[in-house]
Structure 1
């Protein structure tokens, strides 16, 4: 689901599509859960069960926290937290029916030391990671995996650099237990 940029949406679809699979992108009001659900229903009717779900958020201009306007904060929350939250709710409700699926929330695992212009951006990205980790814990006994992908270079808690098509933060081990923050497993994604 993309809130505004159809070109970026289809570019991402082309990047992630696997041989023999089908991917769709929709332009919806990302603050409206009903519109998101309607788009999902269209996909299910046309193609069948949803196997994977990717929540993406835009790159936007950085502002000093104290100079940010209310509309900037509201847009930032909508594009990062609301789409992640509503998208996961809708996708998971369908994945529970089919008994499997995977969700990827595009985020960043960054150090808390950063430039002041990036304060609201990083606060929201930590929010996306928190939603992701809590959902992974909530769904640990199911065959629904929830991860966060690191789209840009990022310094992780291991002090390693991961590149643009980087890593997935895997919060759940195969035995159902979880990694703590200091021993998180990072699985590299590579384009074949």
Structure 2
């Protein structure tokens, strides 16, 4: 029961990694508030957790709207009395519009920055006073390996996630003295709807070929990392990026191609 007596808010908590985190947090004793753009799925996810013996509520949230995030945070505090953990998990971009710099839709760039960066700023700003009042807390931002290096596509998404990584350090520096920790998780290729719905099997195979581990990660792999960051087991860890990518970023970009030149 590593999160007993703690209240956690998870945005994008009704599917994929967010849903896995909601289940893990609840299983470890947290009261979980699931926010998602799809209210029905958020309510259904909370019902699943409750039926399994946990404590959870689900509600709609639009992370592009400050009042909507404020309502989500307010519900957590009103319903459970305090706030200790915030997972700023919502993010993404439209891969059909987020291309290389010359072909990228600039409106998509602005939307991507708002969805990934501004939403993280708003979530933290609105959660911080409640965490400080509770004596401390943990903010967990979802970054991505896309924020660590360049690529041929998704210029806006990679730029936004790089900003989330740096923002994480600013929050950690500014509010560490108030006992609020802030860390980021950078998932690699995870077998979630966000990946499976947008990439072909050939693209997925290419990603796996360049991992150090020969398989895709699962949502629980990221959820377990988030659980560690939410718990007091990571009490001396702040301002850090935990890269959970199957070793994708552990080696040179040419390493996989060099396999063919190894001596027999």
TM-score of the alignment, normalized to the shorter chain, above 0.5: yes
Match of 2:81 in 1: 48
Root-mean-square deviation over aligned CA pairs: 3.4
Q: Secondary structure at the match of 1:77?
A: helix
Comparing 66-75 and 118-127, the one that deviates more: 66-75
Work out which of the residue numbers 160, 176, 180 in structure 2 matches 1:144: 180
- Name the CA distance, whole Å, in 2 between partners of 1:185 and 1:112: 11
Query: CA 1:85–1:120 in structure 2 vs 1: closer, same or farther (change >3 Å)?
Result: same
Q: Number of residues paired by the alignment?
A: 174
Which structure carries more helix by proportion? 2
Kindly indicate whether residue 166 of structure 2 is the aligned counterpart of residue 130 of structure 1.
yes
- Name the CA distance, whole Å, in 2 between partners of 1:96 and 1:17: 22
Deviation at 1:33, TM superposition (A): 1.5
Residues 80-129 of structure 1 show CA distances to partners (whole Å, capped at 9, x for unaligned) of 00110000001111111112110000102567543221322211111001
- Name the CA distance, whole Å, in 2 between partners of 1:71 and 1:114: 21
Match of 2:126 in 1: 90
Residues 4-48 of structure 1 show CA distances to partners (whole Å, capped at 9, x for unaligned) of x84445444124434222211123221222221111111111112
Gaps of 5+ in 1: 154-159
Contact 2:82–2:130, Cα closer than 8 Å, also in 1: yes
Q: Secondary structure at the match of 1:147?
A: strand
- Name the CA distance, whole Å, in 1 between partners of 2:187 and 2:116: 14
- Name the CA distance, whole Å, in 1 between partners of 2:33 and 2:242: 27
Contact 2:138–2:182, Cα closer than 8 Å, also in 1: yes
Could you tell me the TM-score, scaled by structure 1's length? Answer: 0.74
Could you tell me the TM-score, scaled by structure 2's length? Answer: 0.55
Query: CA 1:113–1:40 in structure 2 vs 1: closer, same or farther (change >3 Å)?
Result: closer
- Name the CA distance, whole Å, in 2 between partners of 1:79 and 1:10: 19
1:1-192 matches, cutoff 5 A: 1-2=10-11, 6-8=14-16, 9-26=18-35, 27-60=60-93, 61=95, 62-109=98-145, 113-152=149-188, 165=221, 174=236
Query: CA 1:11–1:44 in structure 2 vs 1: closer, same or farther (change >3 Å)?
Result: same
Q: Secondary structure at the match of 1:117?
A: coil
- Name the CA distance, whole Å, in 1 between partners of 2:33 and 2:138: 15
Larger Cα-atom Rg = 2
Query: CA 1:186–1:35 in structure 2 vs 1: closer, same or farther (change >3 Å)?
Result: closer
Runs of 4+ in 1 over 6 A off after TM superposition: none
- Name the CA distance, whole Å, in 2 between partners of 1:185 and 1:121: 17
Gaps of 5+ in 2: 1-9, 36-59, 190-210, 245-264
